[in-house]
Amino acid sequence: MNNPTKPRKLPTQAIAAKIFHSLNIISLFLMLTSGLQIYNANPVFGGRAGLHIPPLFTLGAWLAGGRHWHFAAMWLFSLNLLGYGIYIFITRRWRHRFVGVNDIKALQKTQNSQRLIYAWHRIAYTAIIPILLLAIFTGIGMYKPAQFPWIVDSFGNWQALRIVHFASVPLVVIFVIIHWLLGQKAGGEKLTESMFW
């Protein structure tokens, strides 16, 4: 007689986590597409004659429109990130979200594939924090250079600040892809979907 294997119970996501994930996706999409519109006005690489992004991938239609969308989405993203930080601090979820000594040991010793996935997930979760803070910090410097000239000065000049801000974009996109792939390995489509609805 065959004993069907009992399906593994996936972790349930709190409603707050679903809201934070959804707002992150929305705000990141708006910032990415409007940021590309801003980029088109004065490309970081090659000046005005540099690489231009096709309008299909931009939001805002012109420089001012792109800036309006970008800064509105920046507030949504920043407040959402702050809310998430407060939430994981109050609920003590931070103890399970960020890399620890046991995760480093697991990478060196464990043969348990599931444990390795969780260790890599915590490493990715921890690594994205300084990247997001750098993106916000450089964005503030670009948004209000007159009020925060020391931010511009800390990167040497305006162009260097723009390059660092622009470089944070692919890093965030790479994180999103890794986060999704690790979620797929840990629990498949059901786990990924549970993060949103």
- pLDDT per position as a tens digit, 33-91: 999 999 888 787 776 777 888 899 999 988 899 999 999 999 999 999 999 889 888 88
Percentages helix, strand, coil for the chain (3-state, rounded to 5) are 75, 0, 25
- pLDDT per position as a tens digit, 104-115: 888 888 778 888
**Residue 100 dihedral angles phi and psi, to the nearest 5°:** -135, 180
Identify whether the C-beta of residue 186 lies closer than 8 Å to the C-beta of residue 121: yes
**What's the gap between Cα 157 and its chain centre?**
26
For position 28, what pLDDT does the model report?
A: 92
Length of the chain: 197
CA atoms within 13 A on the CB side of 185: 16
* C-alpha triplet 150, 152, 157: angle, nearest 5°: 130
Overall pTM surpassing 0.85 (yes/no): no
Instruction: Measure the CA–CA gap between 139 and 141, rounded to whole angstroms.
Output: 5
